[in-house]
Structure formats: C-alpha cells, structure tokens
Structure 1
Amino acid sequence: MERVKNSLVVWVDAPPPSSPPPGERAGERGRAATDRPLVLLCGHLDTVPIHAADEGRFPRREGERLVAPGASDMKSGVAVALELAERLPRAGRDLDLGLVLYAREEGPFEENELGDLLRDVPALRGAALAVCLEPTDGAVQLGCVGSLHATVTFTGRSAHSARPWHGENAVHKAGALLAHLAGRAPREAVSGGLVFREVISATRIEGGRARNVVPDRCTLNLNFRFAPDKSLEAAAEELRALARDHGGAAEVTDLSPACPPWADHPLVRRLLARTGAAAEPKQAWTDVARLAQAGIPAVNFGPGATSQAHQAGEWVELAAIERCYRALEAFLRATPAA
C-alpha cells in the first residue's frame, strides 16, 4: 500500500517495477514484467457537503435501497472495488489489480488528490486500463467532456439611474452575450463513434453597487463543456474569443481536459463484451481525463444512479451494486463465467 496525503494505492497484486519510459505505451511495462495487464479500480472517498435534510440521519436501508450521503456518488463504487479485491483471488484472474482510492474529487481540479497519486506513485503509469466507478446507471460511459470556467467582465461607467445617459450600463452590455448563449444550439461532435454534446452556460452573474446607480461593472461565470475532439488550449481560446466578440474580457479560472473514448482499446472491448453493458458517451467531466493525461486509458463504470448524485436523501439500489460486482468479476476473470 502507498499513501499520499489522504489518498492511497492498494496493490492487490505486485505493482509494475516502474513507470513506462518516454515513448512507451501505457501498460507495456506492466505486461513485460508480469505478463498480465494491470487494471486499476479507481474511486474517490469524499462526498459533497451533507444536505441539511440528511444531518443526523445515519446510512440506512429502505426497502431495496441503501440511503446515505454519497451512496451513488460514489461509496457504492468504492465498495464494489474493495469486495473484488477481497473476494477474487489472483489465481482466478488473468489481469493484475490495483485500487486507487483518493480524496478531494468533489472540488477544484487542482485540489483533487488523484493528481498527487499519479505524480508520486509512478508505478500507476504502468496500468493498461483504469475503471472509474463513478455512477453510470450500469452503463459503460466512455471518455468525457472537458470543463472550463471563465469569469467574463464587462465594464461601463457609473451614473444616477434617473439620468442613465450620463453613464454606461455594464449589465446591459452583457445582454448581447447572454442572448447569444440563450439561442446557442449544442454542438454535436463524434469521437470514438460516440456523440458528445458541447455546451456553454452562464452559471452566475453579478453587477451593480446600489439600486439607483447605473452599474459600471458586470461579471459572468461561463462554464464550457467541450467535446473530446478539442484540446484544452483550443477550448480556452474559443471562450476568450467569444467574450471579446461580445464586448467582454474572459479570464479562465478552472481548466479540466476532455478524455477520448478509447473505444478500440482491447480491454475496453473485453469489458463491453463480458459485461453486456451499453456503451455511452460521458456527458460530464470525470477523472478518466486526468488518468488519460498520465497516459492511462480509462473508462467510467459504476453501480450508482446518475440522477441521485449530490441529491438530498441520495440512494443506490442494492441490486445495482450486485450487478456491477458480477459484471466486473466477469471482466477480471481469466475466463468468463459459463
């Protein structure tokens, strides 16, 4: 086991001896050392802050559901990973196994401790595939969209609101960009045979200093969810250009890359074939993108319900946990169950 800050890597089997040298494909070093590809089961340990309605209410079973903060996102996925490590011996697998359990996923990109693990535990970069057990409703969700946040600032000149012609209303100047976004259709982009929808949304707006003063400043937060066919740099420049074209200036504040689907990877094909799960595009951001940046192909597959993530009274179906366990067991076994 290797610990970094509040996160850890549990080597269920021996880790590869080192990370791949520059230019070597992910997983090749591990295969050469053990003749078995290394698969990582990845899950974050934190949840979003507990809702007021859930305070003091302990995890509990209600009928065929387990109800608890993080039940779907993603304590159930972590439980599946731990059970597989405990119950499925190496002799029954033809894949080596490691667990990556990390903190601070539910926050800014730079604070996520998976980045610390990937930096400080170089043997992880010998993995042939990583499976993030995020909630996917039992589907295999390939790739993910990237996510950029930017603060767009419009500047004007203050005046008395009885005589607005003496000033320049910064809130009104933001109107053209807001109208553009309201009428902007999602861009559909095909990657790995899957269709991702690219969207830009204004998620916050602030402006004005008093009820009777023409505002001299207005800021918007824009969130750009961009498709895997676009680089982080290209997406950031597109957001800056959009702001300039509508009279504002954009400062990019949070950058999370997109991830390709890896649809043709042999272990991804094996996962789909042995589980019988549907392949879908991940219309959100997950840590598969951070893993891909480190050279590790990664997919999303977990028991949680996407509709329950971050909800008050969050729940997961007990049957979904069992199905996910059985599906990953079939994927990891040396031969699929008859």
Structure 2
Amino acid sequence: MTLAEALAARTEALCAVRSPIGEERALCDEVERQVRGRFAEVRRVKNSLVVLADGAAPSGRPLVALCGHLDTVPIHAEDEGRFPRREGGRLYAPGASDMKGGVAVALELAERLPAAERFCDLALVLYSREEGPFEENELGDVLREVPEVSRAALALCLEPTDNALQLGCVGSMHATLRFTGRSAHSARPWQGENAVHKAGELLRLLHRLPFHAVHDGGLEYREVMSVTRIEGGRARNVVPDQCTANLNFRFAPGRSLDSAAAEVEELARRVGAEATITDRSPSCPSYADHPLVRRLRERSGARLEAKQAWTDVARLAQAGVPAANLGPGATAQAHQAGEWLDLAELERSYLMLERFLRP
C-alpha cells in the first residue's frame, strides 16, 4: 500500500467510528486495539491514550509529542449516516479535518519511522473532550497521570492548519454580563427600566471597538471582544427586567488570565453590568526562537503564521512543554456541515513531519 493510500485509509477508518464529544469511548477502544502490543508502552486515561513509542525511561534523546484529539463537535443533522466517503480527492466525514486526519498522520509516523531513523524519542498523545469547556478536556487528566508527557522537549498539536506552522495561540475568556432593570407594561415603559436597552451601550461600544494588535516572536495576534449570545425578555408586551450577554474575549500571548479577567470586569463596570467569568483558557507564547521550532520550520518548509484561535498548545505550555500547531486539516472546514479533508494534504503533512523527525 502506498503512503498516500495508507494515510487515506487510516483517516477513513477513524472517521467511520463516530466520536462526537462525550462519545469517544468506541474510537479510543479501537485505537487502543491497534497500538496495544505494537509499541513499547501504552497508557490509557479515561478515553484518552498516550503511546510512548520508545518506552517510558529517559533515553538521553529529546522527546517529541504528537498530539491530537479523538472527539469531534456534535454531528450536524444533515451529516448523520452519510459519511465517510471519498470523492474528487477529498474525504468527507465529521472530524475529517478537525482532526482525524492529524491523528492518522501521527499514528502512521509512529508505525513507519523506527527509533533508529529519528533524532528523538516519540510519544503520541490522543485525548478526548477537546471540543468542550477547558476544565473537562482530558488532556488535563493525561498531563496529571502520565508525567512522561511533561518532559517533552516539544509538542506538536496536529490541529487543522492547512499545513502551515501556526505558533502560539490567543487565550479565550467567556463571561456573562448581566443588566438589571424593572418590569413594566410595554405600553407604559416609563414605569419600568428596560434591561435590554441598557445593554445597548455595550453593543455600541463593541461595534466600534477596533482590534488591538500585539506582537510576539515577530507575529501579530489580535485581541478582540465579541458578544456571541444575548437574551432578555419574558413576554412581548413586558419591558424586560433582565438581559444577559455572553462576552468572548480573545487575548494575545503575554497577557495573564488575571489581566484578561480584569479587563472584562472593567468593561462591565463601564457599561453598568455585573460580570461573571464562566470559562478561562490561557494564551500560549509563540516559541519562535525555540531551537526545535526553528528546526521544524527549516526542515518542513512550512509557512509561518500566528494562531488566531485557541488550541491545547496553551495547556501544554502551562505544563512547561513548548508547543506549536501543524496539521493537514483545512481550517475553514473545522466544525462545518459536510466537512472534508484534501487527501493530498495528508501525505504532505506526513512528509513535512518526517523531515523534521529524521536525524
């Protein structure tokens, strides 16, 4: 079987096992069946796997971890029962780009490239519940229960990047902003205080607010705030006494979680709202000057970009592991109905990483 067909077939097989977030057990069981006994050491944590291809004991060589999540976003209704299928050089399936193609590349590399043909030891970190809240992500459990992962000299998240090397990532903070008013009949609104109208100042401010550019490692990251949900009102003829808005703040490397929270809380005070932080995910530095990142850039030939989104490189960095993003999936296909992956990008991704891993 050619490399291209092996990668396509492996990705298709991974996509054939449904694994929307919270339902990853069947896929984890299948991958565990494939790797158990084939590699020096395999550890399972809940529905996540760590494959230590060269064993757990330090060898004196650097350890490189290839990381990918097994879960997908919930499956779109129109995609149920229709996938996977190949057509026109593409593989159509939920999770094909985000990120079962990346998982297939990692597994294929571990099988095809023995220790003697690598400059490093190799670990695969295949985990569940990435597509949900930060605290529920099983990579946190893996880092706590498999300490060998934290000694990695570099971790690569094979998230969809169109095979660009995307460094760092912006942090993400969600907050509920609550506006309080007083109910009244909508025919006599002066007898109450409209909480939805009070939220107008927030919306006007954000509508005019430009992004804030921050540079790290020669790359530009953009800090932005957006209202992504807003709710208010109990009946169509009642002045609403409550209005809540979900505010999402994407903040650049170098800003701490406390600093991001303080900025959100200051904005809430400015517009007369009460803020409750509901989810906080840290940013990640670019590591542009890290020697293994430089090696990866030079050997892969990948174009360099800032990661204007959140990925688990930030969680890895919190654990002391330098990390970057590089994967075969199409960024524009992540979370889409009718999601597809360009099969030629699988082989390209494999060869880029193989050049990096060889001595």
TM category, shorter: over 0.9
- Determine which of 190, 203, 228 is the counterpart of 1:178: 203
Given candidates 39, 53, 70, the residue that maps to 1:12 is: 53
Residues 1:266 and 2:291 are matched in the alignment: yes
Q: Normalized against structure 1, the TM-score is what? A: 0.93
The runs of 4+ residues in structure 1 deviating greater than 6 Å are: none
The residue number in structure 2 matching 1:45 is 70
Gaps of 5+ in 1: 18-32
The superposition leaves residues 112-156 of structure 1 with CA deviations (integer Å, 9 ceiling, x where unpaired) of 000000011111111100000000001000000000000000001
Measure the CA separation in 1 of the matches of 2:140 and 2:318. 10
What is the Cα deviation at residue 214 of structure 1?
0.8
Q: Which residue of structure 2 aligns with residue 200 of structure 1?
A: 225
Task: Identify which of 190, 199, 202 aligns with 1:165.
Answer: 190
Q: Secondary structure at the match of 2:215?
A: strand
Q: Measure the CA separation in 2 of the matches of 1:162 and 1:50.
A: 44
Counterpart for residue 115 of structure 2: 90
Cα deviation, 1:22-80, whole Å, max 9, x if unaligned, reads xxxxxxxxxxx422100000000000111111111131110211111100000000000
Question: Which of 272, 284, 291 is the aligned partner of 2:316?
Answer: 291
**2:339 paired with 1:314:** yes
Letter in 1 for 2:55: A
3-state DSSP class of the match of 1:272? helix
Distance in 1 between residues matched to 2:338 and 2:196, nearest whole Å: 38
The CA distance in 1 between the partners of 2:339 and 2:181, in whole Å, is: 45
What are the within-5 Å matches in structure 2 for residues 232-251 of structure 1?
232-251=257-276
- The C-alpha deviation readout for 1:7-30, integer Å capped at 9, x for no partner, is 010011123x4xxxxxxxxxxxxx
Matched AA of 1:251? T
Report the Cα distance in structure 2 between the residues aligned to 1:316 and 1:58, rounded to whole angstroms.
12
Which amino acid letter does the alignment assign opposite residue 253 of structure 2?
P
> In the alignment, does 2:186 pair up with 1:145?
no
Q: What residue in structure 2 maps to residue 108 of structure 1?
A: 133
Which residue among 80, 93, 100 is the counterpart of 1:75?
A: 100
Instruction: Please tell me whether residue 305 in structure 1 is matched to residue 330 in structure 2.
Output: yes
Equivalent residue letter for 2:316: L
Identity across the alignment (%)? 72
CA distance in 2, matches of 1:66, 1:208: 45
Give the match for residue 151 of structure 2: 126
CA distance in 1, matches of 2:338, 2:185: 48
Find the counterpart in structure 2 of residue 331 from structure 1: 356
Q: Distance in 1 between matches of 2:94 and 2:53?
A: 28
Alignment partner of 1:154 out of 169, 179, 186:
179
1:3 alignment partner in structure 2: 44
2:231 alignment partner, SS class: strand
* Alpha-carbon distance in 1 for matches of 2:80, 2:220: 40
Partner of 2:39: none
Q: Hey, what's the Cα distance between the residues in 1 that align with 2:290 and 2:149?
A: 18
**Secondary structure at 1:311 match in 2:** coil
Q: Deviations over 1:233-284 (max 9, x none)?
A: 1001100110111100110000000000000000000000000001100000
Aligned Cα RMSD in Å? 0.7
CA distance, structure 1, for counterparts of residue 213 and residue 307 of structure 2: 13
Q: Which amino acid aligns with 1:150?
A: A
Aligned counterparts of 1:183 and 1:157: Cα–Cα separation in 2: 28
Question: Distance in 2 between the 1:59 and 1:208 partners?
Answer: 43
How far residue 161 of structure 1 moved from its aligned partner, in angstroms, is 1.0
Secondary structure of 1:34's match? coil
* Distance in structure 2 (CA, Å) of the matches to 1:59 and 1:309: 16
Question: Which residue in the other structure is 1:281 paired with?
Answer: 306
Q: Using the alignment, how far apart are the partners of 1:315 and 1:77 within structure 2?
A: 13
- The CA distance in 1 between the partners of 2:223 and 2:325, in whole Å, is 19
What is the one-letter code of the residue matched to 1:290?
R
What displacement does 1:212 show? 1.0
